[in-house]
Amino acid sequence: MALDRKVAYINLTTGEIEIKPIPLEIRKKFLGGRGLDAYLLYNNTRKGCNPLGPGNTLLVSGGILTATCASATARTHFMAKSPLTGLLGSANMGGFFAPEMAWAGFHHLVIKGKAEKPVYLWIHNGEIEIRDAANLWGKTTTETQWAIRDELGDEEIKSAVIGPAGENLVAFANVMTGIKNSAGRTGMGCVMGSKNLKAIAARGTMDIKIAHPIDALEYNKRFIDQITSAKVNQTQGALGTPFIWGATNSWGGIRTRNFQYNQLEEADDIEPEAIDEVCSETIGPYHMTGCFACQVHCRAQYKIPSGPYAGRYDEGPEYTSLGAFGGEPECRSMETLLTGNHLVDQFGMDNLETGSIISWAMELYELGILTSKETDGLDLRFGNDEALLEMVERICYRKGWLGDALADGGIPAAEKIGKNSFDYLIQVKGMNNLHSDERGTPALALNVATASRGSDHLRSRPAIDLYHLPEKVLRKIYSNPVPYDGPLSSEHTSYVGKAWEVFWQENCYMAVDCLGICKYHTVFLGATLPNFEDWPKVLYYNTGLEMTPREIWDIAERCNNIERLFNLREGLSRDDLKKGDTLNHRYFDEPCRRGAPDVIGLKIDRKKFQEMVDEFYEHHGWDKNGVPTPETLKRLGLDKEPSHLL
């Protein structure tokens, strides 16, 4: 049964490992995955703990449906206090790792302490061993994975690993599995590096009993048909996420030159179709691949066609790499894009943060805030492809003054650089924004401002807000499973009802993160995809657990509130530019300068934005400062947290 997968407490300081069952009452409160991780984090860290010290706790998990007969339940979740933001750290990746960990008997790992020397975890059919990783230290992400397979003599081992960036404590180092699947945001790889934990390797052949196998099979087939019939997923399956970048770029919804502009002109050479052509030429007509048991297959495969890394195989590039190595630094070369993507994959660092922080440094350089003294002679202007790629390497290996400074993340780097450099840092809660421009879309601006892990599109973005769906359709989606009869607007430039949309999406995404499902299989990019109404059956057929849509909603709300409690405990304060629910002044002061007529000239209205935040807090049952009221905590059963039930 999925419900008999265990939680393991691993103390890297003492080497002690304790394996426990996950009680049903805990499942009913938090399900699994990110939600249960949030509970475990809140209960297993002390206020103000050093993110890079032994007191930080790293959670690794699969969702409650991971590796069951449910569509696309391949996600692995990582959580800890973030070394990048000092608040909630949380990142989620696809691939094959969490299912393998589930077949090896585990859904959750609670990793504490710090190993004296480099180690890795070996999880195999109910057992966990801490092994020496001296031979792995220094290796890239793929080298590490293949070396573990060689050492243990099993080609089917799946590993979640860090690369040199994690070892060098780059604040936005990620955890990776396979070729490019990354738990990218908030520096979870940096936390692994700080614990001397190079990798977690898993291999399992233990049955996961399906409660109602024939029903589960039949329902899964229907589910898959529903998912693959959505046009957005068909396009994802053909072009991957670059199609989103291409579409939003032509509309004027991406960032260039560190948020100075909202569109990259003359981008033909790196448009999705151009990427598709390189993939077709270097791999073949069928160059898309997918995560475990997923039929969307949104990942492209390619070989770098030219340059010093010619012939190297990789996957992607995704939207974020197009932003990082295309739009933001204003580079227009396919070779730079594919090489940059390959470097961050091999180094194990977040492409989004890397691209944003370098573009920020480029703007500072052009403004004269940074000079060739700090860049060690590097001509760090926009559009300098060589400088961009050189900076990626300097950050990973902390080379030179600037490489070392940027490796600490945006806010610490701004403190080192000084002057008014912070004003140009496009971040929320210390984490850089996705390479998208939300100045024309108040709903999306509210989403990035209030996302629990810092600026982010995968916590609460109502992406369908851009589709101008009829109000009737919006109401059908947004008034289930809890009633909502307040205003809703089909207009993406409106502030009306957007707070509710963001609140609804926040619960929707938390629910899929607890279940272990990918967001392409819910109301993210497609309005017709499964949501609360559909999950109870999947849950019942696969695990036997009976729940109503409303109960799943309540769990999601509970888990979001636990994340909020953690952030408040670590210093979140509503209007704090570094730790709050607010945006860089450019959102309010500088209008969009390029793009479609319905985008040009738009910016976020400060007063209306604050009213949206008020409204958003009210929907949550939070006070004006964004603190859950005692009644809200009681309603959600969180009034006795930390409760240490597990």
Nearer to another protein, 288 or 466 (CB): 288
Q: Which of 152, 238, 283, 496 touches another protein (CB under 8 A)?
A: 283
Tell me: does residue 511 bind another protein (CB under 8 A).
no
Tell me: does residue 413 bind another protein (CB under 8 A).
no
Q: Which of 217, 310, 367, 596 touches another protein (CB under 8 A)?
A: 217
Q: How far is the CB of 91 from another protein (least distance, A)?
A: 22
Selected range binding another protein among 290-298, 333-341, 424-432, 543-551, rule: CB under 8 A: 290-298
Cβ-contact 329, 261 below 8 angstroms: no
Nearer to another protein, 96 or 424 (CB): 96
Q: Which of 10, 22, 58, 67 touches another protein (CB under 8 A)?
A: 67
Host H or E run for residue 589: helix 586-589
Q: Which of 28, 46, 221, 634 touches another protein (CB under 8 A)?
A: 221
Question: 257: left (phi > 0), else alpha (psi -120 to 50), else beta?
Answer: left
Torsion of Cα atoms, 637 then 638 then 643 then 646, to 10° = 70
Tell me: does residue 291 bind another protein (CB under 8 A).
yes
Rg from Cα positions in the chain: 23
How far is Cα 517 from Cα 527, in angstroms, rounded to an integer? Answer: 16
Tell me: does residue 235 bind another protein (CB under 8 A).
no
Q: How far is the CB of 367 from another protein (least distance, A)?
A: 43
Tell me: does residue 419 bind another protein (CB under 8 A).
no
Tell me: does residue 103 bind another protein (CB under 8 A).
yes
Nearer to another protein, 2 or 388 (CB): 2
Instruction: Please count the residues of this chain forming the interface with another protein, following the rule CB under 8 A.
Output: 39
Q: Which of 27, 107, 139, 287 touches another protein (CB under 8 A)?
A: 287
Strand partners, 356: none
Tell me: does residue 309 bind another protein (CB under 8 A).
no
Q: Which residue has the tokens 């227009």?
A: 332
Cβ-contact 333, 341 below 8 angstroms: no
Cα 330–Cα 355–Cα 248 angle in degrees, nearest 5:
60
Q: How far is the CB of 537 from another protein (least distance, A)?
A: 16
Q: How far is CA 463 from CA 72, 116, 528, in A?
A: 20, 45, 13
Tell me: does residue 293 bind another protein (CB under 8 A).
yes
Q: Report the 3 state secondary structure along 12-37.
A: CCCCCEEEEECCHHHHHHHCCHHHHH
Q: Which of 84, 110, 171, 208 touches another protein (CB under 8 A)?
A: 208
Selected range binding another protein among 10-18, 213-221, 322-330, 443-451, rule: CB under 8 A: 213-221
Nearer to another protein, 43 or 289 (CB): 289
Which 3 state secondary structure label does DSSP give 199? strand
Tell me: does residue 292 bind another protein (CB under 8 A).
yes
Tell me: does residue 544 bind another protein (CB under 8 A).
no
Phi, psi of 571, deg, nearest 5: 110, 10
Selected range binding another protein among 67-75, 471-479, 485-493, 531-539, rule: CB under 8 A: 67-75
Tell me: does residue 540 bind another protein (CB under 8 A).
no
Cβ-contact 140, 164 below 8 angstroms: yes
Tell me: does residue 578 bind another protein (CB under 8 A).
no
Nearer to another protein, 213 or 383 (CB): 213
Tell me: does residue 153 bind another protein (CB under 8 A).
no
Tell me: does residue 206 bind another protein (CB under 8 A).
yes
- Over the window 80 to 99, marking each residue x when it contacts another protein by CB under 8 A and - when it does not, the resulting string is ----------------x---
Cβ-contact 596, 433 below 8 angstroms: no
Q: How far is CA 200 from CA 150, 160, 176, 310, in A?
A: 15, 5, 10, 30
Q: Which of 168, 220, 248, 320 touches another protein (CB under 8 A)?
A: 220
Exposed e or buried b per residue across 240-269, where buried means at least 16 C-beta atoms within 10 angstroms of its C-beta? bbbbbbbebbebbbbbbbbbbbbbbeebee
- Over the window 165 to 194, marking each residue x when it contacts another protein by CB under 8 A and - when it does not, the resulting string is -------------xx---------------
Tell me: does residue 210 bind another protein (CB under 8 A).
yes
Tell me: does residue 142 bind another protein (CB under 8 A).
yes
Tell me: does residue 213 bind another protein (CB under 8 A).
yes
Tell me: does residue 315 bind another protein (CB under 8 A).
yes
Cβ-contact 199, 144 below 8 angstroms: yes
Nearer to another protein, 228 or 573 (CB): 228
Q: How far is the CB of 32 from another protein (least distance, A)?
A: 15
Strand partners, 202: 123, 158
How far is Cα 511 from Cα 555, in angstroms, rounded to an integer? Answer: 8
Cβ-contact 299, 289 below 8 angstroms: yes
Q: Which of 47, 117, 266, 284 touches another protein (CB under 8 A)?
A: 284
Q: Report the 3 state secondary structure along 266-310.
A: CCHHHCHHHHHHHHHHHCCCCCEECCCCCCCCCEEEEECCCCCCC
Strands 299-303, 288-289: pairing kind: antiparallel
Q: Residues in the site for another protein, rule: CB under 8 A?
A: 67-69, 96, 103, 142, 146, 178-179, 205-210, 213, 216-217, 220-221, 224, 228, 283-295, 297, 301, 313, 315
